[in-house]
Amino acid sequence: MVRLQRTENAALIAALNQPIHEHHLQLAPAFFAPYDHASMEVEFSEMMARDDYYFFTAEVDDDVIGYVCFQERVSEANAFRQAVRTLYVHQISINPEAKRRGYGRLVMEEVERYAIAHGFPSIELDYWSVNEAAAAFYAQIGFQPKRQFVVKHL
């Protein structure tokens, strides 16, 4: 069983971020900067200082096997759209040695329980279109496409 534990340890999250960041760097090298622990720690510290961001380590027994970061997003209604309140998952990462054991699914189930307990009607996230493994994973756990972003490089 996976347990989520709230954390404000930016150094730990920066270390846990390294494998997923390097994976993203391989997928989109023109976009992602090389991993730098000190820079990551600063960025995560700034995110943790905000009231709308939440960081949780994912733990099995007493071992930290990954983390998840999400944000409570609230947008007011305007002339173009309805009001929106959603839980937005920015990052989920399972350590390489713990992958393919169902922990990612269990972490997302915990995120879903959090969302329901706090009255969120939806969970949103995004992933890179070249990340076929992420697309398959999120489809398996019930996520559906909502929008498509496109780019034209000049």
79: CATH:
3.40.630.30
Residue 148, in any domain of the structure = no
Q: Are 53 and 67 in contact (CB under 8 A)?
A: no
For residue 1, the model assigns a pLDDT of 85
Residue 44, in any domain of the structure = yes
Residue 83, in any domain of the structure = yes
| Strand arrangement of the beta sheet that strand 53-60 belongs to | 2-6, 53-60, 63-75, 84-94, 123-125
For residue 98, the model assigns a pLDDT of 93
pLDDT in tens, the chain (154 residues): 899 999 999 999 999 999 999 999 999 999 999 999 999 999 999 999 999 999 999 999 989 999 999 999 999 999 999 999 999 999 999 999 999 999 999 999 999 999 999 999 999 999 999 999 999 999 999 999 998 888 898 9
Long-range contact pairs involving 97-103 (C-beta distance under 8 Å, separation at least 24): 98/60, 98/65, 98/66, 103/2, 103/58, 103/60, 103/65, 103/66
For residue 93, the model assigns a pLDDT of 96
Domain count, the chain: 1
pTM score, two decimals? 0.92
Residue 115, in any domain of the structure = yes
Residue 147, in any domain of the structure = no
Domain extent for 44: 2-140
For residue 148, the model assigns a pLDDT of 87
